Amino acid sequence: MNNSISLIYAAISPLKNEWVRCSLLGPSWRLYLNDAEGASLTLKEGKFMMKPDHFYLLPSFTKAEGNCDHDVNQLYIHFRLDEDLDLVPRRLYSVPATDELRTLAQKNSLMLENISAVGLKESIKLIHLISAVLLECEGLERQTITENVIKKVITHINGHLAESLTVSELAGMACMSNSTFMRRFKQETGRSPHNYIMGIRCSQAMHLLQNTSLSIECIAMNLGFSSRFHFSKAFKNSHDLSPGEYRTQYR
């Protein structure tokens, strides 16, 4: 298994007036640590008050809403995991801030407050913090795909993102009807085939926008979108930014 973590963005930010019914759905993982009480995350399971002595992890494409009505500063880090690590239950994970983790967080917070841009050394330090929190996170287990035929389909999807990848084609590979395939696929991955494919494509697009000079049209073509318009619409629906806005903000 390839245990790759890619840093996307990290910053210290005041939450008051920023987190007001703030949608946090996106294709990146998010790590939060607040310096005071007063902020909350609302998911389908309910409302969770964020404690300053805990880290909070949101996997990619986990629908959540952030709210804050107090003076709270937040260390937040957006990152990407390889697809083989990304198949985990979509829910909020909390990790107690041990002395070791808090020391790492304080060093990274101080670093972010005193630099204008995150370079290679800073990225390594931030990834060290991410790794340390992931290692301490209980219940963070990759979902096991039990059906070999679904494993085969997922392998095909990941290797053929530039192709159309219709449900009918994938169901045919699995020797199932469309409805049976869609039900089995969601049982195994927690997502519909369409949402899974869009998630992988948008995740790959984030990496290409941030780390290459490929045009948006070229990225759209390489990832199987029918046009730049289709790509831009799908990307903005998942990340609240157009591809161009994302490249400007995070590159």
Render pLDDT for 76-107 as a digit per residue (tens, 0 to 9).
998 888 654 556 777 899 999 999 999 999 99
List all residues 6 or more positions away from 61 whose beta carbon is below 8 Å from its beta carbon. 25, 26, 27, 90, 191, 195, 199, 238
Structure confidence at residue 116 as a pLDDT band (50, 70, 90): confident
Domain region containing 241 = 148-250
pLDDT in tens, 56-69: 999 877 878 999 98
Last residue in a domain, options 109, 136, 163:
136
The answer to whether the CB of 93 falls within 8 A of the CB of 137 is yes
- Please name every residue paired with 9 in a beta bridge, in sequence order, or none if there are none: 78
pLDDT at 185 over 60: yes
Question: What pLDDT score does 105 carry?
Answer: 94
Regarding whether 156 and 111 lie in a shared domain, the answer is no
Three-state secondary structure string covering 107-162: HHHHHHHCCCCCCHHHHHHHHHHHHHHHHHCCCCCCCCCCCHHHHHHHHHHHHCCC
Strands 65-68 and 22-23: antiparallel
Residues 140, 76: Cα–Cα separation, whole Å: 19
Regarding whether 157 and 132 lie in a shared domain, the answer is no
Regarding whether 196 and 86 lie in a shared domain, the answer is no
Q: What is the CATH number of the domain that holds 102?
A: 2.60.120.280
Residue 50 has what DSSP assignment? P
79 assigned to some structural domain: yes
Both tokens assigned to 216: 């948006």
Q: What is the CATH number of the domain that holds 217?
A: 1.10.10.60
